[in-house]
Amino acid sequence: MRKPATIEHLYLDFDGFFASVEQQRDPRLRGRPVGVVPYEGGRTCIIACSKEAKAYGVKNIMMVDEARRICRDLILVPQKPDLYRRAHNALLAEIASVIPIDTVKSIDELACTLDENQRRDPAELAMRIKRAIRYNIGATITCSIGFAANRHLAKIAGGTQKPDGLTIWHPHLMPGPLLKVPLEDIPGVGRRMAKRLAGHRVGTTGHLLELAPKQMRAIWRNVTGERLWYALHGYTIESPQSERAMFGHARVLPPEARNLDDAYGVARLLLIKAARRMRRADYYCRGLMLWLKFYDDDWSDMRTLPQVNDDQAVLSALTIMWDMMTATMGRKVRVLRVGVTLCDLTPATARQLDLLHNDDADRQKWERIGSAMDALNTRFGRTVTNLGIWAPPKGGNVGGKISFTRIPSAEDFQ
């Protein structure tokens, strides 16, 4: 582990990405407060908002009624996930023409490692990136860029002057600029951790920097705290490579689909989408999680499976779990949100058969059927064949919905 004497990393974060893409697509929205919502009509929340809406106090995950009280002129736009995916790919191509992209962190964030020439004039490098976006994509889509000794500090720096900001934290200036950042704005802290830190008499970023590495490890109750200490103090930290843990999808239901029958249909489509993603990534699963949020309650459960990846196996498990949920909650409940997750994953190359089930012949049959259906859907670029009825709810985007943490692939929209 070393402590760089100069800036080595760039972190770029697009400003109000989903809303700004909508404004770029439709000139009538430019300069106006925009809120992106899951679907038209009904009681729902703001998924993302433009910088003009944020100036009024509108925030992501705010209910539409509250957002409209704050901003009467707010324009609501239904989400278009495939548009955001295509915009993301176009923007990456423009940025890569200026500097190689090291890591794509999410659909609206990326990081780059600087070479010796790029470190000499970071401001000019940032302006080249911003010009490439402005003149080759559009002036409505802006980004905030941070430079620092490591990626974590560059991310924090980029967030200090939004929107369309540029912040350079040279190591010899540290930790001065960092001391001005509110504790809860430090990635890795958040509201819950801030409360825990308050119990240890840590109320500011300055107090946090005064702690020792082992103290932070004890407060976080794992090595993450110690790693954060080194990152905040300017050391290079290599993040451990993460492994795929699950494939899942969730959906807020439109008002007319909040009954059990329609909710089951949505859960079924979400599960098929998750299984398709799992097969494309060459995994099998041994568990299915189902959860539902009602108006005044919620329900969740997990079912253990043999190592499977075909639609028939996971859909059969869903039917069993749905019957259990209905027996517990009754049929008069109103469902606000439904989610499914395939978990306990195993790479396809490491699959082990369950000798007690003795159903490998059936599994291979259903897997061949699944492969044939996947091939047809890929060939035609949409769902042309599947098990059961394919009837996406109002707003569509089942399995390809708006996502900050995952970049949908073209296949997610089939």
Q: Which DSSP string corresponds to 101-128?
A: --EEEETTEEEEE--HHHHH-HHHHHHH
Preceding peptide of 163 cis, ω within 30°: yes
Per-residue model confidence (pLDDT) at position 394: 64
Q: What is the pLDDT of residue 407?
A: 65
Map out the domains of the chain as residue ranges. 1-171, 175-242, 246-413
Nearest to 317 by CA among 338, 333, 341: 341
Indicate the class that CATH gives domain 175-242. Answer: mainly alpha
- Active site includes 94? no
Mean pLDDT split into 10-residue runs, the chain, 414 residues: 93 95 96 90 83 93 92 93 91 95 91 94 96 95 96 95 95 95 91 91 95 95 93 84 77 86 93 93 93 90 91 95 93 90 89 64 85 88 84 63 61 59
Q: What is the pLDDT of residue 42?
A: 66
**What per-residue confidence (pLDDT) applies to 395?**
59
**Cα 321 from Cα 290, distance rounded (Å):** 8
Q: Note the pLDDT of residue 115.
A: 94
Q: Looking at residue 209, what is its pLDDT?
A: 95
SS3 content of the chain, % helix, strand, coil (to 5): 45, 20, 35
* The predicted structure's pLDDT at residue 1: 77
| CATH of 246-413 among 1.10.10.10, 3.30.1490.100, 3.90.550.10, 3.30.420.40 | 3.30.1490.100
pLDDT value for 401? 56
Q: What is the pLDDT of residue 190?
A: 83
Which residue among 8, 22, 52, 109 is the active-site one? 109
pLDDT at 400: 55
| pLDDT, position 381 | 80
Q: Where does 1-171 sit in CATH, by number?
A: 3.30.70.270
